């Protein structure tokens, strides 16, 4: 079975790097969402009817912010994993090429 | 021209300022004047039974006015709340849009990897990792939208409450001021007593009805709250209340030196 040509490998590695960049963009977006949620807590007012609604709302908002923060960390991991895969492939590719050139 | 959230808030702020003003007039002008009439000597001679009846009517009107005043003061505490809620609702809508963009960006057709890679790890990445993240982002968007809807709904119900309260206060002050002036002049006392004795309790009833409607609005807000909770705490998209975590070990093997071929294979 023939190996993919170097330019095909190059394009494939570039796809991994670009896709890692795409995940990085989502890290930023999720961090923004977490920030927005954290700043959407409404201090309890001394109101007759809406304090329990606000208590529930604030609780949901905190959970939401926490999920977004976790999401940003997970997407960062995904981006990092894709870069690791691309780097590993690149190193392997370089190593194989060096062996080929040597022979 | 589009009616922006700022226009909406400015309109509401005007309503709220007017309610504050009318409440102050009720507390500082009308109530003291009715209290004065209820205790000061009548400027004319009437049979004692009639005088007692007039005083009882004035006292009753005074109590009703004080009830209305105290209710309005209580509600005024929540006056600024809808403004904050509307601003936050707008922010939540932006968050929902951002979450939708995330889900959209991660779709198969918008990513370069699916067209270039195959193999065990690539398949795991495509079939397990990415869909879980898209589902989580989609759920996040739905939750943010539910929160925005809930806040908007509660804000609108409070705003409508104050608009209704403003109309009732304006009516109350007009009736009250007219009745006090008529009464003080000593002419048309029956008409003045009718206004104070019948119209004011009617307005008090309307204030109570308005409060009941607001309370029902609060009940509906609880339903929205349950919906928010359901979406944010969705166990299928957020297992154990956490963002789904794809183990990198399931799709990070690109080595060829570990005895098996790379789990990422280039599509030729």
Nearest chain B alpha carbon to A2: B268
- Asked if the Cβ–Cβ distance from B78 to A74 is below 8 Å, we say no
Tens of pLDDT along B119-145?
999 999 999 999 999 999 999 999 999
User: Can you tell me which residue has the tokens 């806040």?
Assistant: B151
Please give, rounded to a whole number of angstroms, the shortest distance from the CA of B69 to a CA of chain A.
15
Mean pLDDT across B163-187: 89
B228 contacts chain A (CB < 8 A): yes
Residues of chain B contacting A37 with CB distance shorter than 8 Å: 95
Which residues, numbered 11 to 30 in chain A, qualify as contacts with chain B under a Cβ-Cβ cut-off of 8 Å? 11-12, 14-16, 18-19, 22, 25-26, 29-30
Give me the interface pTM, i.e. the ipTM.
0.90
- Kindly determine whether residue B112 and residue A30, on different chains, have CB atoms separated by under 8 Å: no
Distance CA B53, CA A53 (A): 47
Distance from B108 to chain A by nearest Cα, in Å?
11
Query: Distances in Å between the alpha carbon of B262 and those of A17, A77, A92, B256?
Result: 18, 20, 10, 5
Q: The whole model's pTM is what?
A: 0.86
- Whether B255 sits inside 8 A of A88 (CB atoms) is yes
- Yes or no, beta carbons of A16 and B117 under 8 Å apart: yes
B31 min Cα distance to partner chain A (Å): 24
CB contact under 8 A, A36 and B94: yes
Q: Does A44 touch chain B (CB under 8 A)?
A: no
How, if at all, do strands B117-118 and B265-266 pair?
Answer: antiparallel
Nearest to A74 among B74, B110, B243 (CB): B243
Question: How far, in Å, CA of B209 to CA of B166, rounded?
Answer: 14
Reference B190, options B179, B200, B203; nearest CA is B179
CA distance B129 to chain A (A): 9
B188–A contact, CB cutoff 8 A: no
What pLDDT is recorded for position B108? 95
Two structure tokens written together for B152: 């908007």
What distance in Å separates residue A74's CA from the closest CA in chain B? 6
Mean pLDDT value of segment B225-251:
88
| Residue B144 forms contact with A (CB below 8 Å) | yes
Distance CA A67, CA B104 (A): 19
pLDDT of residue B44: 65
pLDDT band for position B8 (50/70/90)?
confident
Q: Which residues of B87-109 are buried (b: 16+ CB within 10 A; e: fewer)?
A: bbbbbbbebbebbbebbebbeee
pLDDT at B58 > cutoff 70: yes
Q: What is the mean pLDDT of residues B90-112?
A: 97
Q: What is the DSSP string of chain B?
A: ----HHHHHHHHHHHHHHHHHHHHHIIIIIHHHHHHHHHSPPSS---HHHHHHHHHHHHHHHHHHHHHHHHHHHHHTTTTHHHHHHHHHHHHHHHHHHHHHHHHHTSGGG-SGGGTEESHHHHHIIIIIHHHHHHHHHHHHHHHHHHHHHHHHHHHHHHHHHHHHHHHHHHHHHHHHHHHHHHHHTSSHHHHHHIIIIIHHHHHHHHHHHHHHHHHHHHHHHHHHHHHHHHHT-TTTSGGGS-----GGGT----SSSSS--SSEE--
Distance of residue B260 Cα from the nearest chain A Cα, in angstroms: 14
Instruction: Provide the CB-side half-sphere exposure for B126 (13 A, CA).
Output: 19
* pLDDT(B194) > 90: no
Say if the Cβ atoms of B74 and A18 lie within 8 Å: no
Q: Mean pLDDT of all residues in chain B? A: 88
Q: At what angle do helices B48-76 and B31-39 cross, to 10 degrees?
A: 160
What residues in chain A have per-residue pLDDT under 70? 1-2, 44-49, 93, 95-103
- Give the closest of B81, B218, B225 to A45, CB-based: B81
Note whether B140 contacts A: Cβ–Cβ < 8 A.
yes
CA A46 remoteness from chain centre = 41
Residue B82 · residue B155 · CB < 8 Å: yes
- Answer whether B256 touches A (CB < 8 Å): yes
Beta-bridge partner residues of B118: B265
Check CB contact under 8 Å for B77 and A48: yes
Average pLDDT on B45-57 reads 78
């Amino acid at each position: 079975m023939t190996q993919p040509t170097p330019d095909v490998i190059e394009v494939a590695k570039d796809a991994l790097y670009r896709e890692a960049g795409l995940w990085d963009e989502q890290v930023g977006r999720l961090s923004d969402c977490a920030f927005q949620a954290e700043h959407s807590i409404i201090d309890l007012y001394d109101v007759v009817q809406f304090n329990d609604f606000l208590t529930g709302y604030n609780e949901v908002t905190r959970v939401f912010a926490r999920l977004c923060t976790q999401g940003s960390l997970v997407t960062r991991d995904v981006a990092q994993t894709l870069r690791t895969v691309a780097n590993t492939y690149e190193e392997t590719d370089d190593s194989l090429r060096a062996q080929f050139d040597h022979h | 021209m589009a009616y922006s959230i700022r226009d909406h808030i400015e309109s509401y702020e005007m309503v709220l300022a007017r309610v504050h003003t009318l409440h102050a007039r009720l507390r500082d002008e009308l109530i003291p004047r009715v209290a004065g009439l209820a205790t000061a000597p009548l400027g004319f001679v009437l049979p004692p039974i009639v005088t007692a009846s007039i005083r009882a009517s004035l006292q009753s009107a005074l109590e009703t006015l004080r009830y209305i005043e105290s209710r309005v003061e209580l509600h005024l505490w929540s006056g600024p709340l809808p403004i904050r809620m509307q601003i936050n609702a707008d922010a939540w809508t932006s968050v929902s849009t951002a979450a939708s963009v995330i889900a959209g960006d991660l779709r198969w057709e918008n990513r370069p990897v699916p067209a270039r890679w195959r193999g065990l790890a690539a398949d795991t990445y495509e079939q397990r990792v990415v869909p879980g993240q898209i589902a989580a982002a989609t759920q996040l968007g739905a939750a943010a939208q539910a929160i925005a809807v809930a806040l908007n709904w509660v804000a609108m119900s409070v705003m409508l409450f104050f608009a209704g309260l403003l109309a009732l206060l304006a009516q109350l002050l007009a009736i009250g001021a007219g009745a006090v002036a008529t009464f003080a002049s000593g002419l048309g006392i029956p008409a003045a007593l009718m206004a104070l004795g019948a119209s004011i309790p009617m307005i008090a009833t309307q204030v109570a009805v308005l409060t009941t409607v607001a309370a029902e609005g609060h009940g509906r807000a609880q339903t929205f709250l349950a919906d928010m909770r359901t979406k944010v705490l969705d166990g299928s998209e957020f297992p154990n209340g956490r963002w789904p975590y794809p183990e990198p070990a399931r799709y990070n093997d690109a080595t060829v030196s570990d005895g098996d071929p790379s789990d990422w294979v280039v599509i030729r």
